[in-house]
Amino acid sequence: MKKYLLKKTMVIGIILLLIGTFYLPTISSENVKIKNENTSLDQSKDGIWWHLMKIKINHNMVAGDLNNFPVLISIESSHLGKKAQSDGDDIVFTESFNVKDILNHEIELFDSSSGKLVSWVKIPFLSSTQDTVIYMHYGNSKCGNQQSPEMVWDDNFTAVYHLDGVNYLDIKDSTSNNLDVVEKQGYPTFQASGKIGLCVDFDEASLNVDDNDLLSFTDGSNNDKPLTIETWVKYYSAGGGNNGIISKYANMKREWLLRKAGDDKCELYLCDDSIASTIWRKSSSNVNVNNMGWSYIAASYGGFENGNDISIILDGTVNNGETWTGNYHGMENLNEKMRIGAHHSHVNGWSYWQGLIDEVRISNIVRSPEWLQTSYNTMNEPSSFIKAVDANIKSIDGSSPFLNFIENHPLLFPIFKLLLQLL
């Protein structure tokens, strides 16, 4: 009996030694340098991530193969709320269940009481033919903030606003350009319930960003540059009238604006101020009005100074309608502020958005229809776009990550099988 107990104790000791030697370093940062696109972090004192979640991205909702795409991870998990740090600082996304080769992410919202998480994760390659799998790790009480917000948004994003702040000074640009909101006009209501997380309720109000050359899509000599604007809007009133959504167009300094036109069509409108000539294009369908729901609006322009070069995307689908090209020779950089929620006409005065605006993005390229369709999909149906399951100590398929590790290790697997036979 004593020999049996001694043998059993030795076998268990050897198994524990194997775990400590080969496995724990793969889930602990004690011996791992965590690397991402902008840094190499030696987190030798940051402890262990004890819990993980496997997340599968549905390729059927990806309109085309995409590089460096920001995917919305919107989930609610009581286990995540209980085991993660209260502010979500320990949450890490990776391409495998090992805490290495991390993916850049930005947390827009984390509520530890409910476990609700709204986060953006940059996926290096998003396939439209097979599901992309990533992992979320959490449950590390020692580590610091693992976010890298500026790295989530590729260099072609000029500005990104989640509009989730507690006041106008808390509305920040998530890109490295730091084109933050600096003032408000009127009395917007902050932290209203949005399409993605929280948003701003505009009613005779706007949020203003100081003039910056990055927001003037011209070289200053009437030679236009490409642009794409994306946002979610919800309109309360019955419709009719021009209502500014995003603009650099006020006080006789007219460059560009995105608005709901008087016929309730979405319109991108560009102005050659020196001769008051314009190009524009409208959507063929109406934007939702009268509190009928959210509309995803995107507009792109290639910079070729023709109305036919403008494309309108409504709810993820190209929706081009009426267009106009006047005696237009290109925009000028007139040093006007950018406004979210309004534009100004010298004829009709201020034109405000009446309702909610969420998730404003401005890019300095023409985003492809596949990109914009996928953007719509990830934000419109996040529960269909991804499948996430609490893994705790087990992976999504019910197997143990430790056993997966042992099974796929060419040296440890036969040793481990022999030790189990000795028990």
Q: Are 311 and 346 members of one domain?
A: yes
Q: Is 351 exposed, middle or buried (0-12, 13-18, 19+ CB in 10 A)?
A: buried
* Residue 84 belongs to some domain of the structure: yes
- pLDDT (0 to 100) of residue 309: 96
Same domain, 147 and 177: no
What pLDDT score does 36 carry?
37
Task: Indicate if 23 and 61 belong to the same structural domain.
Answer: no
Whether residue 136 sits in one domain with residue 243: no
Is there a domain that residue 303 lies in? Answer: yes
pTM attached to this predicted model: 0.84
Kindly state whether residue 377 falls inside one of the protein's structural domains: no
Q: Do residue 123 and residue 246 come from a single domain?
A: no
Is 374 among the domain residues? no
On whether both 217 and 282 belong to a single domain, the answer is: yes
pLDDT of residue 273: 85
Would you state the pLDDT for residue 147? 96
- CATH no. for residue 242? 2.60.120.200
What pLDDT, on a 0 to 100 scale, did the predictor assign at position 252?
85
User: CA 108: distance to chain centroid?
Assistant: 9
The neighbouring-strand residues paired with 212 are none
Note whether 131 and 165 are same-domain residues: no
Predicted local distance difference test score (pLDDT) of residue 275: 82
Cα(377)–Cα(235) distance, rounded to whole angstroms? 21
Q: Residues of the chain whose pLDDT is less than 70?
A: 1-46, 97-99, 390-423
Ramachandran quadrant class, 287 (left: phi over 0; alpha: psi -120 to 50; beta: rest): beta
φ and ψ at 301, to 5 degrees?
-145, 130
User: Does 145 lie in the same domain as 25?
Assistant: no
Q: How many domains does the chain have?
A: 3
Residue 303 sits in the same domain as residue 421: no
Residue 392: closest CA among 46, 47, 23, 97: 97
pLDDT of residue 221: 80
Write out the residue range of the structural domain in which residue 72 sits: 32-154+385-392
Question: What integer pLDDT is reported at residue 413 of this predicted model?
Answer: 57
